[in-house]
A and B are shown apart, each in its own frame.
Chain A
Amino acid sequence: MRPALAAARHAIHPKGRSRSEIEAHTMAEPLIELRAVTKRFPGMKALDGVDFQIFPAEIVCLAGENGSGKSTLIKIVSGVYDFDEGDLLIDGKPVAGLGPRDAIAAGIQVIYQDFSLFPSLTVAENLALNRLLSEGKTFVDPKRRRQLGAEALARLDVAIDLDATVGTLSTADRQIVAIARALMSETRLLIMDEPTTALTGREVDRLFSIVREIQAKGIAVLFVSHKMREMLEISERITVFRNGRKVEEGPTGEFNEARITRAMTGHDIGHERHVWTGDDSEEPRLSVRGLSVGDTVRGVDLDLHRGEIVGLSGLLGSGRTELAMALFGMEPHSGDIRLDGAPLSLESVQDAVAAGIAYVPEDRLSEGLFMRQPIARNVIASAIGRATRGPFLDHERLNALAEQTVSDMRIATPDIEKHAGQLSGGNQQRVVIGRWLLTNPKVLILNGPTVGVDVGSKAEIHRRIRELAASTGLAVLMISDDVPELIQNCNRILLMHRGEIVDRLDTRSVEEDDIHGRLKGLR
């Protein structure tokens, strides 16, 4: 761990446990222990002879790429899956045939990524439902329901309106409701699956302080995450999985990002940066002056040169997504936008596509991909004109373009007929990016290009974007919360706050912690 990080960790957590304390409690009996557990699925071993322990009041991170076995491990511990070989011990006693209800009875609670909350019901009811259900009551007493909810929130020392419907809460508040609900029963182990994916920096801090409070109550917390910086900040022990095997394990102090990445992928991921060799005085590819979108974007000036990759970050609600949507013709806006010096009118998506602007949205599930359609059709969706003969589709040309994209983007698939929904997150993202590249864009806007994508795949996507920028003169605007991603890929980073660009940084002269500090300072 770098000194700055270690210092930050202690500043946030004065009661940080020392090494000796950790070692002391490893002497105690583990809460959960797996001994040589193997789980087979047809044609593969999801877990292969894994030993794993969690002690009371310990924060452990499980790291690993998609398919490494970490989800399988969670499902075994929470009683969703049975296993084929080995032993599962709770409090030192072997347990056979653990079911989901048994796991809950043993104090094991899982918070899934979707939180499993009821958006139309109130906070109080969401919190109280489990308890009321387990008591087997026929009638509901609204007063008691509210009281149970209030108690649950008081335990975490947070204030959320008990009568608000959960659907109106922010993601961070919803997560807190989910945590509070999980702690309603006699919880001893709380498992959180990718808990920080949808949170901003400040919200992550709040989550972590809650997690430490939970720990102080003697509850163990198991995190599953790809986000290395956060794993290093919160956990006491890190366990890395690869291909169903445990490949590394140790106190967090012995790890850094490079070591985790190497353990997860089995090789070093190059950390070359994007070097832009263009000329500032040249006419910019995209030039934006005084762009405003209602109140959310206020008079933004922005230049993207040929071959540049410009990063854009800021807190949620800073206006960065609205800025991107305006440039893609999806938000009504005012201001002057020029492409290669020629004024542009972006009234609709069609205008933007015709001008050569491509946009890869944040939520590829709802905005980008047709999950039940084959890769080939997904790839061609935005460049359908390149695969037609008169009014009809030319299937040969379509398939040729699709094959070319699959190989260009190195999409891992046996054939182009596979449905987009069957691909991994990283491969799905490559399909979306590949689709836009077929339109031969001049400007590519990426919003959260590697959210939910694992490390190996992420590096591959980054490399491809840098190659494209360097070789074709594509100008890229990369919106992201992932600071290392921005530093690695961009030659400039813009920070946005309350609709304005408040900082313009050159990545040659800025450090990661510096950007984190600036982001946290925005309020």
Chain B
Amino acid sequence: MTSVSKLLRRSETAVLAILIVVMIVIGVINPAFWQADNLFNLLRANVVIGIMALSVLTVMISGGIDVSFPAFAVAAMYLTVIAMNAMGYQGVVLPFIGATVIGLLCGLANAFFIHTFRMIPLIVTLGSASVVRGLLLGLVGTSIINIDRMPPSLIAFGSSTIEIGGSKLSLMIFIYLGIALLMWLFLTRTMAGRAIFAYGDDAESAKRVGFNTRRTVYLVYGLAGALAGFAGLLHASMIWLANPRDFVGYELDVIAAVVLGGASIFGGRGSVFGTILGVFMLTLIKNSLIIMRIDNTWQGVVVGCVIVIATALTAWRDRKALV
């Protein structure tokens, strides 16, 4: 097989092609789409969903599914902001480390149940999401921390930009791309990353070959939780408020983006580049719906359709590959 035909068969290529077509169509309908301000805004909207998608990608490659990341993100965000306010702490690095660790611990709890009791990841993460959200609202508080009470250091960090041709591009986009690069290196260039692919492809064979599958499960869910926690605090910094009821419905958007990017819900397949494209496609679609003044409620319909169609396409691809 030539390298060109190989490239054409890759699902990333298909997503990229569709993406370009969609952008051209949108550009024709609304020429304002190509303005730098709009594009930069669009990129900015990728950041939080994108980091969460990398978290879900890791879980999906391992053959699992995670619906607890929005709850972990909200808990990490809200607890960190509350703690900062209580201590009067002004800083950036330590709070982000704190939020990441909170997410990590929640993720390790998921791993404990999934590995020890051989439970289905969907059930475990549904349960842990509900528990974490409930505890947060019940024990910590229900009030939104507005801009007037948000730590100024976080606000300053979240709104840092660089100017390119008179338009401002959020620096957060580089954090997202940096994390994506690290995740790509981790998943493709380390044995631990390859272990996740092997485990998702065939857990029994992975064990026979000599992978430590227990370590793999803990790594997958721990990493997923850590990324979610980090994304949570980043989100609050970028929108200047911390809402303990935030991220409702993100499960669907993020999973849609990952599936759109070519990851298999059966495990073993998925790439960072595909996921980045999937996230961009999803935010593009949602952004266009807003520009076209389509009602919020209809966005759900569109995202649902995207999931079903993308999953149908990957299932069709996987079945064809077997023949």
Whether A118 touches B210, Cβ cut-off 8 Å, given contacts A161-B1, A167-B321, is no
In the complex, which of the residues A138, A161, A164 contacts B190, with contact meaning CB atoms closer than 8 Å?
Answer: A138
Interface residues of A in 391-418 (CB under 8 A from B): none
A167 and B322 CA atoms in complex are apart in Å by 6
Whether A140 touches B205, Cβ cut-off 8 Å, given contacts A119-B268, A163-B6, A167-B322, is no
Chain A positions 120 through 135: 1 when the CB is less than 8 Å from some CB of chain B, otherwise 0: 1100010001101110
Whether, in the assembled complex, A302 has its beta carbon less than 8 Å from a beta carbon of chain B, the answer is no
Q: Flag the segment in B31-39, B100-108, B121-129, B195-203 that touches A.
A: B195-203
Query: In the bound complex, do residue A121 and residue B321 qualify as a contact, i.e. CB atoms below 8 Å apart?
Result: no
Q: Looking at the assembled complex, report how far the CB atom of B123 sits from the nearest CB atom of chain A, in whole angstroms.
A: 19
Q: In the complex, what residues of B have CB within 8 A of residue A139's CB?
A: 189-191
A130 and B202 CA atoms in complex are apart in Å by 15
Query: In the bound complex, do residue A140 and residue B194 qualify as a contact, i.e. CB atoms below 8 Å apart?
Result: yes
How many interface residues does chain A have, given as a range? 20 to 34
Whether, in the assembled complex, A116 has its beta carbon less than 8 Å from a beta carbon of chain B, the answer is yes
Whether A118 touches B201, Cβ cut-off 8 Å, given contacts A129-B209, A134-B210, A163-B6, is yes
Q: In the complex, what residues of A have CB within 8 A of residue B198's CB?
A: 118, 121, 129
Q: In the complex, what residues of B have CB within 8 A of residue A168's CB?
A: 321
Whether, in the assembled complex, B216 has its beta carbon less than 8 Å from a beta carbon of chain A, the answer is no
The residue in chain B whose Cβ has the minimal distance to the Cβ of A110 is B208
Whether A140 touches B264, Cβ cut-off 8 Å, given contacts A116-B209, A117-B205, is no
Whether, in the assembled complex, A137 has its beta carbon less than 8 Å from a beta carbon of chain B, the answer is yes
Whether, in the assembled complex, B211 has its beta carbon less than 8 Å from a beta carbon of chain A, the answer is yes
Query: In the bound complex, do residue B211 and residue A119 qualify as a contact, i.e. CB atoms below 8 Å apart?
Result: no
Interface residues of B in 26-53 (CB under 8 A from A): none
Chain B positions 1 through 15: 1 when the CB is less than 8 Å from some CB of chain A, otherwise 0: 100001000000000
Whether A120 touches B205, Cβ cut-off 8 Å, given contacts A133-B191, A138-B191, is no
Query: In the bound complex, do residue B268 and residue A132 qualify as a contact, i.e. CB atoms below 8 Å apart?
Result: no
Q: In the complex, what residues of B have CB within 8 A of residue A134's CB?
A: 210
Q: In the complex, what residues of A have CB within 8 A of residue B321's CB?
A: 165, 167-168
Query: In the bound complex, do residue B202 and residue A125 qualify as a contact, i.e. CB atoms below 8 Å apart?
Result: no
The residue in chain A whose Cβ has the minimal distance to the Cβ of B195 is A133
Q: In the complex, what residues of A have CB within 8 A of residue B1's CB?
A: 161, 163-164
Q: Looking at the assembled complex, report how far the CB atom of A175 sits from the nearest CB atom of chain B, in whole angstroms.
A: 14
Query: In the bound complex, do residue B197 and residue A121 qualify as a contact, i.e. CB atoms below 8 Å apart?
Result: yes
A226 and B42 CA atoms in complex are apart in Å by 63
Whether, in the assembled complex, B115 has its beta carbon less than 8 Å from a beta carbon of chain A, the answer is no
Q: Looking at the assembled complex, report how far the CB atom of B17 sits from the nearest CB atom of chain A, in whole angstroms.
A: 21
Whether, in the assembled complex, B269 has its beta carbon less than 8 Å from a beta carbon of chain A, the answer is yes
In the complex, which of the residues B188, B202, B204, B208 contacts A119, with contact meaning CB atoms closer than 8 Å?
Answer: B202
In the complex, which of the residues A114, A121, A137, A161 contacts B268, with contact meaning CB atoms closer than 8 Å?
Answer: A121
Query: In the bound complex, do residue A129 and residue B194 qualify as a contact, i.e. CB atoms below 8 Å apart?
Result: yes
Q: In the complex, what residues of B have CB within 8 A of residue A130's CB?
A: 209-210
Q: In the complex, what residues of A have CB within 8 A of residue B210's CB?
A: 101, 130, 133-134
Query: In the bound complex, do residue A116 and residue B191 qualify as a contact, i.e. CB atoms below 8 Å apart?
Result: no
Q: In the complex, what residues of A have CB within 8 A of residue B6's CB?
A: 163
Q: Looking at the assembled complex, report how far the CB atom of B20 sits from the nearest CB atom of chain A, in whole angstroms.
A: 26
A168 and B319 CA atoms in complex are apart in Å by 10
Q: Looking at the assembled complex, report how far the CB atom of A115 sits from the nearest CB atom of chain B, in whole angstroms.
A: 8
Chain A positions 151 through 194: 1 when the CB is less than 8 Å from some CB of chain B, otherwise 0: 00000000001011101100000000000000000000000000
Q: Looking at the assembled complex, report how far the CB atom of A276 sits from the nearest CB atom of chain B, in whole angstroms.
A: 37
Query: In the bound complex, do residue A118 and residue B322 qualify as a contact, i.e. CB atoms below 8 Å apart?
Result: no
Q: Looking at the assembled complex, report how far the CB atom of A274 sits from the nearest CB atom of chain B, in whole angstroms.
A: 35
The residue in chain B whose Cβ has the minimal distance to the Cβ of A129 is B209
Query: In the bound complex, do residue B201 and residue A120 qualify as a contact, i.e. CB atoms below 8 Å apart?
Result: yes
Q: In the complex, what residues of B have CB within 8 A of residue A121's CB?
A: 194, 197-198, 201, 268
In the complex, which of the residues A116, A137, A161, A165 contacts B202, with contact meaning CB atoms closer than 8 Å?
Answer: A116
A304 and B204 CA atoms in complex are apart in Å by 45
Interface residues of A in 477-519 (CB under 8 A from B): none
Query: In the bound complex, do residue B268 and residue A120 qualify as a contact, i.e. CB atoms below 8 Å apart?
Result: yes
Query: In the bound complex, do residue B264 and residue A120 qualify as a contact, i.e. CB atoms below 8 Å apart?
Result: yes
A116 and B204 CA atoms in complex are apart in Å by 8
Query: In the bound complex, do residue B205 and residue A118 qualify as a contact, i.e. CB atoms below 8 Å apart?
Result: yes
Q: In the complex, what residues of B have CB within 8 A of residue A119's CB?
A: 201-202, 268
Query: In the bound complex, do residue B191 and residue A118 qualify as a contact, i.e. CB atoms below 8 Å apart?
Result: no
Q: In the complex, what residues of A have CB within 8 A of residue B204's CB?
A: 116
Query: In the bound complex, do residue A133 and residue B202 qualify as a contact, i.e. CB atoms below 8 Å apart?
Result: no
Query: In the bound complex, do residue A140 and residue B190 qualify as a contact, i.e. CB atoms below 8 Å apart?
Result: yes
A123 and B202 CA atoms in complex are apart in Å by 15
The residue in chain B whose Cβ has the minimal distance to the Cβ of A128 is B194
The residue in chain B whose Cβ has the minimal distance to the Cβ of A132 is B191
A139 and B189 CA atoms in complex are apart in Å by 6
Whether A133 touches B209, Cβ cut-off 8 Å, given contacts A118-B201, A119-B202, A161-B1, is yes
Q: Looking at the assembled complex, report how far the CB atom of A105 sits from the nearest CB atom of chain B, in whole angstroms.
A: 12
Chain B positions 168 through 197: 1 when the CB is less than 8 Å from some CB of chain A, otherwise 0: 000000000000000000001111111001
A125 and B209 CA atoms in complex are apart in Å by 12
Query: In the bound complex, do residue A140 and residue B202 qualify as a contact, i.e. CB atoms below 8 Å apart?
Result: no
A139 and B195 CA atoms in complex are apart in Å by 12
Q: In the complex, what residues of B have CB within 8 A of residue A114's CB?
A: 205
Whether A140 touches B268, Cβ cut-off 8 Å, given contacts A116-B204, A129-B198, is no
Q: In the complex, what residues of A have CB within 8 A of residue B192's CB?
A: 138
Q: Looking at the assembled complex, report how far the CB atom of A447 sits from the nearest CB atom of chain B, in whole angstroms.
A: 17
Q: In the complex, what residues of A have CB within 8 A of residue B191's CB?
A: 132-133, 137-140
Q: In the complex, what residues of B have CB within 8 A of residue A137's CB?
A: 191
Interface residues of A in 218-250 (CB under 8 A from B): none
A145 and B267 CA atoms in complex are apart in Å by 22
Q: In the complex, what residues of B have CB within 8 A of residue A165's CB?
A: 321
Query: In the bound complex, do residue B189 and residue A118 qualify as a contact, i.e. CB atoms below 8 Å apart?
Result: no
> Nearest 9 pairs between A and B by C-beta?
A120-B268, A116-B205, A118-B201, A120-B201, A116-B208, A120-B269, A133-B210, A118-B198, A140-B189
Apart from A117-B205, A121-B198, A137-B191, 4 more pairs, CB < 8 Å: A101-B210, A121-B194, A133-B191, A168-B321
B residues apposed to A, CB below 8 Å: 1, 6, 188-194, 197-198, 200-202, 204-206, 208-211, 264, 267-269, 321-322
Q: Please, could you name 28 A-B residue pairs with CB atoms under 8 Å apart, sorted by A?
A: A116-B202, A116-B209, A117-B202, A117-B205, A118-B197, A118-B205, A119-B202, A120-B200, A120-B201, A120-B269, A121-B194, A121-B197, A121-B198, A121-B201, A129-B209, A130-B209, A132-B191, A133-B191, A134-B210, A138-B192, A139-B190, A139-B191, A140-B190, A140-B191, A140-B193, A142-B189, A167-B322, A168-B321
